[in-house]
Amino acid sequence: MRGICRAIFLFNKGIIDAVYDLVPAVKIQIAFYEVYGAEGIRAFFKTAEYAKKKGLIVIADVKRGDIADVAMMYSKAYLQNEYIDAITVNPYMGENTILPYISDCTKYGKGIFILVKTSNKGSGTIQNIKTEEGYFFEKVAEMANKMADSLIGNYGYSSIGAVVGATCTEEAKILRTKMHRSYFLVPGYGAQGATADDVADCFNDDGLGAVINSSRKIIFAYRNGYWKDVYTEEEYAQTSREEVILMRDLINNCLMKKRS
Ligand SMILES: O=c1ccn([C@@H]2O[C@H](COP(=O)(O)O)[C@@H](O)[C@H]2O)c(=O)[nH]1
């Protein structure tokens, strides 16, 4: 196990070294570390530490959601960790289960992203249930927005953000008009099929307000058709860098088109 986890950390380090000057943040998915037990968790926090020391914002994708007393412990584990800036939070259990995280966001200058409309194909089953006052995800957005308003920073954005899937273009438009002050964490780009055009409406008119996430498309870029013929497996990190540059340029082009 130790060997696998060491290899995972070195792989991550290679990618961080290759892209840290291009991206604002890394999102580390806890499931891929939990699966290796204690050594995996060690690799997770080592990766977070390395990314943080490289100047990146570190988002732990842990999707926590439990009663408030338990949430306090989750919050202590992640938001009180010096190398983690923000976590993802599942709001299904209600407002009071999110408050412990908000309290730590305030105390320690951290952030959370509340799952509002997720990128997966089945997300509509619950999130798009129509109520008399709109869709279920709109109700979650309303709750998140109220919380966001209580924690606005110097630049007008809140520490309470929202997860909004890149694959949910229509919902993203609605949410962007309702949640001006929240950063959107936008997964679903690349491997799940969303494109630069699809994420353009996740940004505010100032060109800010969204962090677009692409995981497999970046970290496994060396396996992709086009790059496979250009780079070797050993050059995986350089390949990731190329893919990040491509993603950045495609998104910037779409944003410029939208503004003109
Ligand atoms: O709605 C959501 C919320 C989180 N995720 C997470 O994002 C990445 C996506 O990985 P890709 O390889 O870019 O598809 C993954 O860690 C998910 O847990 C999401 O996909 N959708």
Rounded distance between C-alpha atoms, residue 64 and residue 61, angstroms: 9
Q: Is 251 helix (H, G, I), strand (E, B) or coil?
A: helix
HSE on the CB side for 103, CA within 13 Å? 14
Query: If pLDDT is split at 50, 70 and 90, which confidence band does 260 have?
Result: confident
Each residue's pLDDT tens digit, 182-239: 999 999 999 999 999 999 999 999 899 999 999 999 999 999 878 988 999 999 999 9
Average pLDDT over residues 125-144: 97
Each residue's pLDDT tens digit, 147-179: 999 999 999 999 999 999 999 999 999 999 999
Q: How many angstroms from the chain centroid is the CA of residue 2?
A: 27
**Annotated catalytic, 63?**
yes
Residue 100 is predicted with a pLDDT of 98
Query: If pLDDT is split at 50, 70 and 90, which confidence band does 259 have?
Result: confident
Average pLDDT over residues 108-113: 98
187 pocket-lining for ligand 1 (C-beta < 6 Å):
yes
Question: Pairing mode, if any, of strands 184-186 and 160-164?
Answer: parallel
Q: Is 109 helix (H, G, I), strand (E, B) or coil?
A: coil
Contact 143, 91 (CB under 8 A): yes
Task: Give the burial class of 77: count Cβ atoms within 10 A of its Cβ; 0-12 exposed, 13-18 middle, 19 or more buried.
Answer: middle
Place of tokens 């086009």: 226
Residue 27 is predicted with a pLDDT of 98
Residue 146 is predicted with a pLDDT of 96
Give residue 81's identity as a one-letter amino acid code: N
213 pocket-lining for ligand 1 (C-beta < 6 Å):
yes
Domain covering 62-259 in this structure, CATH number: 3.20.20.70
Asked whether residue 245 carries a pLDDT value surpassing 80, the answer given is yes
- In the reported structure, the alpha carbon of residue 29 is separated from the centroid of ligand 1 by a whole-number distance in angstroms of 8
2 pocket-lining for ligand 1 (C-beta < 6 Å):
no
Protein residue with its CA nearest to atom 16 in ligand 1: 29
Query: If pLDDT is split at 50, 70 and 90, which confidence band does 124 have?
Result: very high
Each residue's pLDDT tens digit, 20-61: 999 999 999 999 999 999 999 999 999 999 999 999 999 999
Looking at 72-81, 99-108, 127-136, 225-234, which range is the least confident one? 225-234
Shortest CA distance to 60 belongs to which of 18, 104, 121, 1? 104
Q: Which atom of ligand 1 is nearest to 216's Cα? A: 12
Place of tokens 């380090």: 13
> Is this complex scored with an ipTM above 0.85?
yes
Query: If pLDDT is split at 50, 70 and 90, which confidence band does 1 have?
Result: confident
